[in-house]
Structure 1
Amino acid sequence: MQTETVQPGLFARLVEIGHGSARAAASPEVLYDRHGVLVVRVGDVVVKAHQADREHGPPFLERIRLAGTLPSIVIAPLGSPLTVDGRTVTLASFGEPVDPSQALPWEEGARLLAALHSESVPAEAPSWGRPTRVARLVSRLGDGPAEDAVRRAFVTLPAWIRGEVDEPPAQTERLIHGDWHLGQMIRIQDGHWRLIDIEDMGRGDPAWDLARPAALYSAGVLPPDDWERFLGAYRAAGGPAVPAQDDPWTSLDIPARSLAIQIAATCVITAGRDDRVLDEPEQAMIDACVRISAAGDAA
């Protein structure tokens, strides 16, 4: 059980909040402590201190309200956010995260996304907005062959993703998670899976929720069988992000390329911070960037 953290003062405050909300006494456990986010479990409650530089005003409150209307799909925060030492803090019910040593729930994730994408979009739902993370990460790259490969791939993306022009109107606008991967799922007590982390949830193109597995598949990191399980389950559940029968890459090309570049930039930055060489999956993402830049601008 992990209780060490680089944020000991904040940890103590979150534990105090957790003890006041949990149904039974329990020892605290750090579930996540990266990128300025600290998540602590206390019994049946999870207490999360969100990133200090994220916007947590009215749109976030609307996302909390919206998540509360989707209990069969999303785990919503318990009550209104708190402010602790200048940080936004939320509480939620605990669920078991995905265990990478077990069979991965690709079908369950696909069905949850298809269900979310099939919900009606409330008029007050906040916009997911442009995928700004890729441009932000690329701007942080230093010098080197891998960094250059990522930058060359980045310039093939549409100008609106690079932040140079306004985003065009979405052809298909649905309710989307906005940052989906298997780490955004938990299994609740009845054995069913739910989505978590609603900070990016809102109106947007549902193809972006499929972009990360599509990017990993196109880079050769995600095995073809896993990709087919995911895509097949999404289509079988009536998911609207891709055509039911035709080529899915007509919808997924730009989102998948963007996420491949984003993941590659993250890999380079992380390896540089840790003063190590890229591992095999990370190098595969750089190789994908080389192929993207060689193909040119397909947008």
Structure 2
Amino acid sequence: MGIETDRESPSSTTELVEALAETAARAGAGCAPPVLVVERADVLVVRVGAVVVKAHPAETDAAALLSRLRLASAPRWRDILLPPLPIGDALLTRHAGRTITAWPHGDPVDPDDPGAAPWEAAATLLARLHGMPEPARDLPEAGGPARVRRAIRRLRDAGDVADRAAAAIVCRAFAALPESTATARTLVHGDFHLGQLVRVPRGGDSWRLIDIDDLGAGDPAWDLARPAALFAAGILEPVTWLRFLDAYRAAGGVAVPRDADEWVALDIPARAVAVQTAALAVAAAGREGRELDDLDTALVDACRRIATASDLS
């Protein structure tokens, strides 16, 4: 299975939704009407019955994504990664310069019930992912570090950032980030957070990792970096962080030492992801014409501490 040829360019979101619905039908969806799930400047996701179809960012490397899709399609990974659905004889198609993929629908984590968040299940999936044999040689590098650079570029390119002081703090923190020194190299999800989990009814309800756009070979500490950064910023409760970390270690995860200080491995990736998340938050606030909320402010404060620590060193 490979890549289908690009098709005619749609001129609107409505036309792209129609193209996604057509793709869903070719991937086995029924005759249900399309439901818009995600609409961002760079991503569009539509559900048609039991099929979810995604239009990836225009800059997506289709060949690299195809390598990731082939890995996720292999039976050995299906207890960890949600496998894609074939679109005819291909794993992805192209339409109007956009790469399109199809997936089985799964139930996401409920954002309104944080107490039921599957932190242990997520940690176990990551530990299993990190413990799999060396990935294929043609698999791209994991996308974590590149995501940080893209977030800063988006912030710098934004012309409507209302809080210039916050943007300056985030950029100072980015400049202060030290080089990452990986202690291990494994298969890495590349953009882990709870939104990257869905529950699927296969052999009983179970969770799978989704969104493999940044899947690749890299430092597994980056997959723990977002919850680590949220904990360090005072956003994630200590008991929740410890639930996640303890479950990861209990499942044999290799990203952190089993009996030593986890921050030896997590410190630099966690700082970098804090900067990335703050950059996107400040840019989003400007784009939406609103002030920073409490979560945004906590992230900017974390960046201030990162920049200040560098100034004092």
TM-score by length of structure 1 reads: 0.90
Which whole-Å CA distance do the structure 1 matches of 2:150 and 2:24 have between them?
34
1:256 is aligned, of 270, 280, 295, to 270
Residues 156 and 297 (structure 1), Cα distance of their counterparts in 2 relative to 1, 3 Å cut:
farther
For residues 181-209 of structure 1, the C-alpha deviation after alignment (integer angstroms, 9 at most, x for no partner) is 11111000131000011111111000000
Unaligned runs of 5+ in 2: 1-11
Q: Which aligned pairs between 1:144-183 and structure 2 lie closer than 5 A?
A: 144-158=164-178, 160=179, 170-183=182-195
1:121 aligned onto 2:134: yes
Letter in 1 for 2:120: E
- Residue 228 of structure 2 is matched in structure 1 by 214
1:66 aligned residue: 71
* Partners of 1:150 and 1:286 within 8 A in 2: yes
Task: Measure the CA separation in 2 of the matches of 1:171 and 1:34.
Answer: 35
Asked if 1 retains the 8 angstrom alpha-carbon contact of 2:143 and 2:191, the reply is no
Distance, in Å, in 2 between the alignment partners of 1:123 and 1:47 is 26
SS at match of 1:15: helix
Matched, 1:34 2:48: no
- Report SS of the residue matched to 1:82: strand
Once the two structures are superposed, residues 65-84 of structure 1 have per-residue CA deviations (whole angstroms, 9 ceiling, x without a partner) of: 11122000001212210112
2:197 equivalent among 179, 185, 191: 185
In structure 1, stretches of 5+ residues that fail to align are: 1-5, 162-167
* TM-score with structure 2 setting the length: 0.86
CA distance in 1, matches of 2:84, 2:311: 41
Contact 1:156 1:298 in 2 (8 A): no
1:264 to partner: Cα distance: 0.8
Q: Structure 2: how far apart are the matches of 1:62 and 1:298?
A: 44
**Aligned-residue identity in percent:** 49
Q: 1:107 aligns with which of 117, 120, 127?
A: 120
Which residue is equivalent to 1:98?
A: 109
Residue matched to 2:246: 232
Alignment partners' CA distance in 1, 2:291 and 2:23 = 40
Displacement after TM superposition at 1:151 (Å):
1.6
The aligned runs of 1:267-282 (5 Å cut-off) are 267-282=281-296
Q: Matched residues in 2 for 1:297 and 1:115: separation?
A: 39
CA distance in 2, matches of 1:52, 1:129: 16
Please say if 1:288 is aligned against 2:302: yes
Cα contact 1:186–1:193 (8 A) shared by 2: yes
